[in-house]
Amino acid sequence: MRPVFKALAGVLASMTLAGGAQANIEFVFDYSRDGNGVMTNEMKALLEQAAGTIEASISDQLSAIAPQGDFAPSIFFTPPDTGTSSPAVNTIGANQIYVYVGGRSALGAPHLALSGAVRNATRPASVPANDPAFLAYRDELRSRGQPGAIASTPTDYSPWGGSLAFDSEASFYVDDDISTLESFEGQYDFYTVALRGLLGILGYGVGGAGTPVASYHANVDSENLTFVGANALAEYGEGVPVYYYYDAENDQEIVDERFLDDSVVSTVNGVAQTALMTQTLNTGERRALTALDYAILRDIGWQAAPVPEPAEYAMFLAGLGVLAAVARRRRA
């Protein structure tokens, strides 16, 4: 075993997550569609650290995506540099979540995460659409070994990956040491934005047009504008408000069920913090995943357990993120 892999294995083996589960998912980043040259090496390093933090808390196991005999995946994505549509890779390893990363202007927010859940299967014309082997292949492709993801009322989520675009016009604070916190007034904290973007890939706070992913939306009380998943209720004590804003000037109500209301506060290691996935992220602030964010991930279907963050564990997590970044298979 190469030294860095051995070091990473030792760190992960020493971590005790809820129920004794160990981290399994792996974000694989593809920068081939960063045609506008937005992602600097420093931004890539911070994205890798954010990925390491999330990977350490998710213990789901996803089956691989690949052609099989006469059948093959058919996956499309929105390139982060153009916003159009393009064929994606058709082979993704077990437990891997494949993310195209880049940037473009006029996103309307610091980032735009588009999670890839819809994937079809192709077959030869000689194979009927109701062929049992084809249907089994298609269902496995869509579920990735998570049956709840394709239930009539989904209780799980199993993306192949997706695309993550960062706004090329936004001013980002690119911290070279996330174990310390300096003032960065007027700038968005890139590490926080990266965390939010990756949670979007997992189906929590997905950007773009359309409704939330099904297993998230199933827990939204649209009448009372609250998220009412069992884990979130247990953590928050009541329905969690989703984003609502009344525009008095135009006499218009603005609702976005994909994000939490800006008033929602939870805790990180027992310390109060605005939930990571509120609709608005302000400049000059850094956030971590709160207990409520982890609870909502569980309600979406992820096996998620909090990893100690900030304060005395910040240095540990920074090191974990670096190790995960070096060990992770990357696509250039």
**Residue with more model confidence, 242 or 106:** 242
Q: Which long-range contacts (CB under 8 A, 24 or more apart) does 38-44 make?
A: 38/81, 38/102, 38/103, 38/104, 38/166, 38/168, 39/101, 39/102, 39/103, 39/166, 40/174, 42/174, 42/176, 43/166, 43/172, 43/174, 43/190, 44/101
**So what's the pLDDT on residue 313?**
44
| Mean pLDDT within 123-129 | 96
**So what's the pLDDT on residue 210?**
59
| Mean pLDDT within 252-275 | 95
Q: Give the closest residue to 296 by CA, choosing from 209, 223, 220.
A: 220
Q: How confident is the model at residue 207 (pLDDT cuts 50, 70, 90)?
A: low
Q: How confident is the model at residue 8 (pLDDT cuts 50, 70, 90)?
A: very low
Q: How confident is the model at residue 242 (pLDDT cuts 50, 70, 90)?
A: very high
pLDDT digits 0-9 by tens, 46-102: 999 999 999 999 999 999 999 999 999 999 999 999 999 999 999 999 999 999 999
pLDDT digits 0-9 by tens, 256-265: 999 999 999 9
**So what's the pLDDT on residue 309?**
59
Quick one: tokens of 330? 């990357």
**So what's the pLDDT on residue 133?**
97
- Within a 10 A sphere around the Cβ of 182, how many other Cβ atoms? 8
| Mean pLDDT within 198-206 | 92
Q: Is the pLDDT of residue 203 over 90?
A: yes
Rounded CA separation 257/254 (Å): 10
**So what's the pLDDT on residue 20?**
44
Rounded CA separation 93/58 (Å): 16
Q: How confident is the model at residue 19 (pLDDT cuts 50, 70, 90)?
A: very low
CB 36 within 8 A of CB 44: no
Q: Is the pLDDT of residue 328 over 70?
A: no
Q: Is the pLDDT of residue 164 over 90?
A: yes
- Within a 10 A sphere around the Cβ of 289, how many other Cβ atoms? 26
Rounded CA separation 207/201 (Å): 9
| Mean pLDDT within 299-324 | 62
